[in-house]
Structure formats: structure tokens, C-alpha cells
Amino acid sequence: PILVEVQALVSPTNLGTARRTAIGADPQRLSLLCAILEKKAGMDLYGHDIFLNIAGGIRIDEPALDLGVICALSSSMLDKPVPPDTAVCGEVGLAGEIRAVANIELRIREAERLGFSRIIVPKTNFDRFKTQTRIDRVGVASIHEFLENLNS
């Protein structure tokens, strides 16, 4: 697994229809994740243009990116920066649940190797991971839990 930086800009639109633009990620997945944030976290993204970028020109098409997208979108919308020592990974389901991803041990070790001190992962992965690491692991089961734990 490769760790990537997910960047988002959420800005009120001056046009009638809000734009959803994704560079390096699936635009349909971006629209889906926006709808999930609106429905399950109560974020009013409808009247906002949304720009998503995967830094470095990398193209990612894997569900483990979902939580990073949710993280970047909520950070921009709420104007709350993500703690720089925190990494995230997880798939987000339509009901707002955070679903397990493959290769979680490798993802955690890579985040630790790159100097992150905390990683937020799906609770189902967290419960199965027994190896000791120096990185603080936080398991979340829903978008609500994720948003509560992001800046704590």
C-alpha cells in the first residue's frame, strides 16, 4: 500500500448548480461520499462546489481511500485542519458505516514508518489487529465516530 495526501476544497457556489471535481479519484465516488456526508453527518454540501485532489498526480481507485476523502471534505467544510500526525483509511458504506479494508497491517506499518503517530481505521480491522506498534490506533465504526475522533 502507498499512503497519499487527499486534498479538498469546499466552497459556496455562485452558480445554480454546484460542481463536483475529482483529480486522481473517481468522480462518481466523490458524489456518493458527498451524499453520505449530507445524509449521515448533516453537512450541507448541496450549495457548495467541491474540488478533490490526490496530491502528486497519483490515481487511486480503491475503497480504502473513502475515509481519507471524508476526512478532507469535512476538514474543508468545517474549516478544521486535520492533525498532521494523523493518517486514516477505511471504506465508507451507504449507511455511513466504516468497513474493513485489506492489508491493514501493511497500511499501519507504512503510516508508522512515515512518521505518523496516530491512525484511524475501521473498527472491524482494529479488533482483528493484534501486532504491537508504536503508532496509536483508533477504531471507528461510523462517520459520526470518525468525526468525533478526528480532532481529539
| pLDDT tens profile 40-95 | 999 999 999 999 999 999 999 999 999 999 999 999 999 999 999 999 999 999 99
User: What pTM did the predictor assign?
Assistant: 0.94
Instruction: Give CA separation, 9 vs 35, 55, 94, 136, in Å.
Output: 16, 13, 23, 28
Which of 4-8, 13-17, 18-22, 56-60 has the weakest average pLDDT? 13-17
For the chain, which domains are there?
Answer: 6-150 (3.30.230.10)
| pLDDT surpasses 80 at 130 | no
